[in-house]
Amino acid sequence: MRQTIVKAALCGAMLLATTAQAALSPAEQKIGGSVDAGHEPAIALLEKIVNQNSGSMNVAGVKAVADMLRPEFEALGFTVSWKPMDQVKRAGHFIAVHKGKAGTTKMLLIGHLDTVFEPDSPFQTFKRDGDWAAGPGVGDDKGGVVTMLLALKAMQAAGTLKNANIEVVLTGDEEDSGDPVSISRADLIAAGKRADVALDFEGLSREDGKDMGSIARRSSNSWTLTTSGKSAHSSGIFSAAAGDGAVYEMARIITAFRKELPEPNLTFNVGLIGGGQSADVDEDGVRIAVTGKTNIIPPIAVAKGDFRTLSQDQTERVRAKMQAIVDNGHLPGTGASIAFDLGYPSMAPTAGNRALLGKLNGINKDLGLPEMPELDPLKRGAGDISFVAQYVDGLVGLGLASTGDHSPAEKADLSTMPRQAKRAAMLMTRLSMEKGRK
């Protein structure tokens, strides 16, 4: 009886595999074989670029990674250029263009060359342990860039790349974008305006062992709040002459933020705070040096924080609410002002993005893979695709699954590379057969 059950299970599995294979075109079947054959060479390339430090501030290192990738893209028929970003004190951007059949879908592929690990970090080397590899940027985002290349190479081997209109933008400062972003993201935004579809090759999100589809990313915005009061002896606190002081005014505002701001898809945080006789923020905005005494009413307090939203409308609404709280209801003898730095915009979960995920799930079905449910956008941080989200439909997360990103514990699941590359290559192949909208 047991042998009968086992045989039936094996037959069922073989039938499902055969059915899935039959749903793929001959070219797509060739894509699958090419990806499998190219997996180990891709890992060798990943090791090479991970071992080259490319912290965001390591201009030479970022450029060195770009130079390693140039011949890989040129061999596929891409015209490659390097756009220096000296104006914003960053390395630059790698841009590669492949011209295909006129009138078909224009695709923008997004990734980045830099990591959060600068040359002084002790975390510098690629180390493999079976299906897992550790190293700076192995998941975020060098693994994604290599997965992109593996997919493109498979398309070339299957003959589907020749008709595809593709522009690749690999930024050199995703982890610490150059200021102002009007300059540092100008090339990416221009590419987004030209494209019909944007595919982001940052890491694959997984939940409970299941691959998830990402169609949204929240914004990342920062704020600096400064409050003022009258400097006086502490014995006079709360009097008509001395007032309440800068710290109590700061407390009023932050408490009001906590009570009045909460709404779905919004998070907000106070990351730094200091008050006293003086409160000086360093030029990098990451330290507040405070002086004073316990018996002096503080004349100044400074707090810095962030807030993250799921749409531009939400960003503007929250910003207006924060400004109103700051402006209204000052405590006696105090004042306050707030400054905003709107960094990464949001990528809202649009119908167009959802339709793209539907196409990807069609490929999953044809490959015999489970459907990828939508990921809760609160579980996805900000990224470069958000700069083009208002112009083009997009998908996030075509790179490798990884853990410990942005820490010395970063490691990537190399076993996810083949299926991610197959998904990407087949999606791009099918999109290349559709009529473009721009």
Give the CATH number for residue 235: 3.30.70.360
In a domain, residue 201? The reply is yes
Average pLDDT over residues 102-108: 97
Q: Which residues pair with 66 in a beta bridge?
A: none
Q: Are residues 91 and 228 in the same domain?
A: no
For 106, 269, 320, the CA distances from 339, given in Å and listed in that order, are: 39, 15, 12
Structure tokens at 435: 């009529």
Asked if residue 1 is part of any domain, the answer here is no
Is the per-residue pLDDT at 334 higher than 90? yes
Nearest alpha carbon to residue 359 among 44, 137, 105: 105
Task: Say yes or no: 123 and 235 in one domain.
Answer: no
- Domain-ending residue, one of 310, 343, 376: 343
Q: Residue 378 has what pLDDT?
A: 87
Q: How many independent structural domains does the chain possess?
A: 2
Considering the domain architecture, whether residues 90 and 213 belong to the same structural domain is answered as yes
Task: Give buried/exposed letters for 388-410 (b at 16+ CB in 10 A, else e).
Answer: bbebbbbbbbbbbbbeebeeeeb
CA–CA separation, 84 vs 97, rounded Å?
17
- Report the range of poorest mean pLDDT among 46-50, 282-286, 329-333: 282-286
In angstroms, the CA 392 to CA 380 distance is 19
List, for residues 288-324, the tens digit of each pLDDT value: 999 999 999 999 999 999 999 999 999 999 999 999 9
Residue 149 inside a domain? The answer is yes
pLDDT at 21: 57
**Same domain, yes or no: 84 and 173:** yes
Last residue of a domain, one of 343, 371, 398: 343
| Residues 90 and 202 grouped into a single domain | yes
Task: Give per-residue pLDDT as tens, 233-256.
Answer: 999 999 999 999 999 999 999 999
Residue 437 confidence (pLDDT) above 60: yes
Q: Are residues 248 and 367 in the same domain?
A: no
- 294 and 335 share a domain? yes
pLDDT at 11 over 80: no
400, two tokens: 């490798």
User: Residue 202 above 90 pLDDT?
Assistant: yes
Please give the residue range of the domain that contains residue 338. Answer: 220-343
What pLDDT band is residue 283 in, cutting at 50, 70 and 90? confident
Residue 7 within a domain: no
Using a pLDDT cut of 90, give the percent of the chain over it. Answer: 91
Contacting residues for 313 by C-beta, under 8 A, at least 6 apart: none
- Judgement on whether residues 329 and 364 belong to the same structural domain of the protein: no
Q: Mind listing the pLDDT tens digit for each residue in 114-140?
A: 999 999 999 999 999 999 999 999 999
Q: Which of 195, 180, 157, 201 is nearest to 412 (CA)?
A: 201
Asked if the model's pLDDT at residue 9 lies above 50, the reply is no
- d(CA 230, CA 236) in angstroms, rounded, equals 11
State which of 343, 373, 404 marks the end of a domain.
343
Whether 7 shows a pLDDT value over 80: the answer reads: no
The reported pLDDT for the residue numbered 14 is 47
CATH code assigned at 351: 3.40.630.10
Q: Does the N-terminal peptide bond of residue 120 adopt cis geometry, omega within 30 degrees of 0? A: no
Q: Band of the pLDDT at 20, cuts 50, 70, 90?
A: low
Q: What pTM does this model have?
A: 0.87
Q: Is 195:97 a contact under the CB 8 Å cutoff?
A: no
Mean of pLDDT values over 72-85: 98
State the Cα angle at 401 between 344 and 145, rounded to 5°.
65
Are 101 and 34 contained in the same domain? yes
Q: Does a structural domain hold residue 235?
A: yes
In this structure, the answer to whether residues 358 and 338 fall within a common structural domain is no
**How much is the mean pLDDT over the chain?**
94
Residue spans of alpha helices (H) in 243-372:
245-260, 312-327, 351-367
Residue-level pLDDT at 370: 97
Between CA 269 and CA 167 the distance in angstroms is 37
Same domain, 333 and 371: no
